[in-house]
Amino acid sequence: MDHHVLLALFHVFFVSPLLIYVGIQRASSPEWLYKALIILSIFVFAYHLFRLYTKWIKGSSSLWVNLIHILRVAPVLFIIGYYKKETTRAFFEATLLLGFAALGYNIYNLVLQLNTVTGDSN
């Protein structure tokens, strides 16, 4: 299976539900989740910084994906993890926006991949 398909499935079935859950639960999230969000934010930041560098060297046009993760996703996760129940509403709303955006974008990518595999040109 193509790694883009696996990545899209990971975002549809794990990342998006996690972000939406955090956005809905807000201060009702379990304490362990805040620590997990800090760890996840550090991983997301480091991974996408590395990918940004490798894509930059190759002259890729998809640097924007990594920049979104570095400048938006990782900081929001870190702030929620750090401030825990004291996090302002705006950051929880941002996780909802990121979660639904990731869900829609990755479902769209899966549909494109399906069309490529089946040969549908529409």
Q: What is the CA radius of gyration of the chain?
A: 16
Angstrom distance (rounded) from CA 27 to CA 15 = 19
pLDDT for position 121? 57
Predicted confidence pLDDT, tens digits, the chain (122 residues): 789 999 999 999 999 999 999 999 999 999 999 999 999 999 999 999 999 999 999 999 999 999 999 999 999 999 999 999 999 999 999 999 999 999 999 999 999 988 887 766 55
Placement of tokens 């934010």 in the chain? 41
- Nearby residues of 33 by Cβ (< 8 Å), 6 or more positions away: 22
pLDDT at residue 16 in the model: 98
